Structure 1
Amino acid sequence: MNKNKVFFLLLLFMYMLGNAQDTILPIWTKEIPNRIATDEKEVEDSEEILRISLVQKPIIEVFLPAKRSATGKAVLIFPGGGYHFLAYDWEGTDVAKFLNAKGIAAIVVKSRLPNSKSLTEAYKVPLQDAQRAMRITRENASTWHINPNEIGIIGFSAGGHLASTLGTHYDEIVYEKQDPVDELSARPDFMALIYPVITMKEQTHQGSKNALLGKKPSDDQVEAFSNETQVTTHTPPTFLVHATDDTVVPVENSLLFYTALKAHKVPVTLFVYPKGGHGFGLGLHDEFLKDWPNQLMTWMATLK
């Protein structure tokens, strides 16, 4: 083998090493709770954005920044999709790449969706996956060069509902412990909720409510998952973003959560934009909206 060929293969190996797939871990290493065997298959549709539906095996996908730029902070990402699908790149991996560029570890959560026939007590399942994902992240904090006390969450739309559910129900026992990981706290250290579904009451997004709770939920279920009613003094500091002209998830969702946090003296920041509609992601193509991710970075830097 001549020297040129050896050099080329060495460069190719180095390129592949530097572009290796980020770590993917199963959320459940033993039995997946509330799962039943069916013929249902996971579906991926990438016509415009990558939409994943009927998730069968929940995972976390870990994106780590270069060690020299790492801040020690981490954020779990919950993509939206009305609890019917996950906007996995638009509100998931694209956000992870933005965070990595800022030195922040990012963990995209591919959680199960409650509209699957492979589930029992489907309304419990997203929170089960979210709690476990947070605990796995804390378990791996030293390996991933993360401060275990600087792990936050960000959620978009229905993913914002799941994030706010984790932020208000983090200590609720929703599954049987499987291993020592489940002894760790599932409480986020901070939350960012972007055009989130918050309430299951009058101002809800009906599609998300139907998918999560069904068309005839009990009053107790509606109350439990109206997260503005679940805020306490221990709810994590929160950053909220919404557009006034959002006709899908009314801005009142963020306003309700802001009011509840303020009443309990939880640090909260709210950005309400006059225009933007729903589902604008990182807002890169809008002069107003494109600044919200930088505002989030500024806010995170002020957290104690």
Structure 2
Amino acid sequence: MKNIIFGILLLMAITVQSQDTIMPLWPDGKIPNQLKMDEKEIHKNEGILIISKVQKPTIEVYLPSQRNATGEAMLIFPGGGYGVLAYDWEGTDIAKLLNSKGIAGIVVKYRLPSNASQKDKHFVPLMDAQRAMRLVRSHAKAYQIDPKKIGIIGFSAGGHLASTLGTHFDEKVYDSVDDADNESARPDFMALGYPVITFGINTHGGSRKNLIGENPPVDLVDHFSNEKQVSPQTPPTFLVHATDDTGVPVENSLLFYRALKDNGVSVTMHIYPKGGHGFSLARNDMHLRGWTERMFEWIESLR
């Protein structure tokens, strides 16, 4: 009987230890630019978990086993055209892959631009991205990660948000709410999968419309065309894209590559002939699925 009880207690301890941490980004009542409305968050699972109308942004933390941990972490920004989040396809699945390589994976459920529940909606995703990076850095000791080895990865519109964080990390877009906001919002490295980069020619129309509106002023277009916002302080970057991507043209990655190169920022890019848009891990494509190993090799080169 004692052995049975001990086994049950041990199983419970393992289960608790392995549970993921879901943490709100903002303290109660302090979500910036949020309007009090009746809008409700929506979760739909039709092969992919799709989240829309995010009201309470969070981070979901996946930690590798201590013996495998490298001390690195990556914040993950799922895509969805700034209208929805492909939360497992480009979020939790990516976190689990990172864990297999000893890297903490932290999925950011960021707010999507909304005229109904937000003011100045075009700054809201960046607010959540900056806050997520600062919050993770402030918890680095608890998560047993190195605060100087925290990168980001984003896909499609999530790639736009990631590249916005990588180029606008020191832009003041919200007032400090607690001590976590004393931390830097700059990522230490950045990986972008088929990212929306530009809001000019070759943009993704849906992402642009959802973030900055139907007929935005030129200065706002330029502000969120991240190839125009690169500086020598932009973090080292890994880019992956497919040539036949008709959703987000490959020119987005090419523009960002050129801007990084011109500013002396270390950049690695892998362009595949086929793959289309939104391929995530590309597990069914023997050639394309190799992009994840190329990324891990790149991360190792930064150590």
TM-score range (shorter-chain normalised) is: over 0.9
1:143 aligns with 2:131: no
Per mean C-alpha deviation after superposition, the further-off stretch among 166-175 and 4-13 is 4-13
Query: Aligned letter for 2:22?
Result: I
* TM-score normalised to structure 1 length: 0.96
Matches within 5 A, 1:1-304: 2=1, 6=5, 9-10=8-9, 12-14=11-13, 16-20=15-19, 22-30=20-28, 31-115=30-114, 117-304=116-303
| Structure 1 residues 4 and 116, CA gap change in structure 2 (3 angstroms) | farther
CA contact under 8 A between 1:54 and 1:116: conserved in structure 2? no
Shift of 1:115: 3.3
Identity %: 60
Shift of 1:9: 3.6
Shift of 1:48: 1.2
- CA separation in 1, counterparts of 2:95 and 2:152? 12
Deviations 1:241-275 (A, max 9, x none): 00000000000000000000011110000100000
- CA separation in 2, counterparts of 1:145 and 1:7? 28
Deviations 1:215-240 (A, max 9, x none): 01111100000000000011000000
Shift of 1:8: 6.1
Aligned length: 302
- CA separation in 1, counterparts of 2:60 and 2:5? 34
- CA separation in 2, counterparts of 1:7 and 1:106? 32
Shift of 1:179: 1.4
- CA separation in 2, counterparts of 1:99 and 1:205? 28
- CA separation in 1, counterparts of 2:59 and 2:3? 40
- CA separation in 2, counterparts of 1:223 and 1:283? 32
- CA separation in 2, counterparts of 1:186 and 1:298? 25
Provide the aligned C-alpha RMSD in A. 1.3
Per mean C-alpha deviation after superposition, the further-off stretch among 96-105 and 111-120 is 111-120
Secondary structure class of the residue paired with 1:75 = strand
Secondary structure class of the residue paired with 1:279 = coil
Shift of 1:16: 3.1
Query: Aligned letter for 2:284?
Result: H
Deviations 1:32-81 (A, max 9, x none): 00000111100001011000000000000011100111101110000000
| Structure 1 residues 74 and 8, CA gap change in structure 2 (3 angstroms) | closer
Shift of 1:146: 0.8
- CA separation in 1, counterparts of 2:188 and 2:6? 47
CA contact under 8 A between 1:23 and 1:62: conserved in structure 2? yes
- CA separation in 1, counterparts of 2:187 and 2:14? 36
- CA separation in 2, counterparts of 1:249 and 1:115? 22
CA contact under 8 A between 1:80 and 1:160: conserved in structure 2? yes
Shift of 1:284: 1.0
Query: Aligned letter for 1:95?
Result: I
Query: Aligned letter for 1:199?
Result: T
Deviations 1:155-184 (A, max 9, x none): 000000000000000000000111121111
| Structure 1 residues 73 and 9, CA gap change in structure 2 (3 angstroms) | closer
Shift of 1:19: 4.3
Shift of 1:29: 1.1
- CA separation in 1, counterparts of 2:171 and 2:18? 39
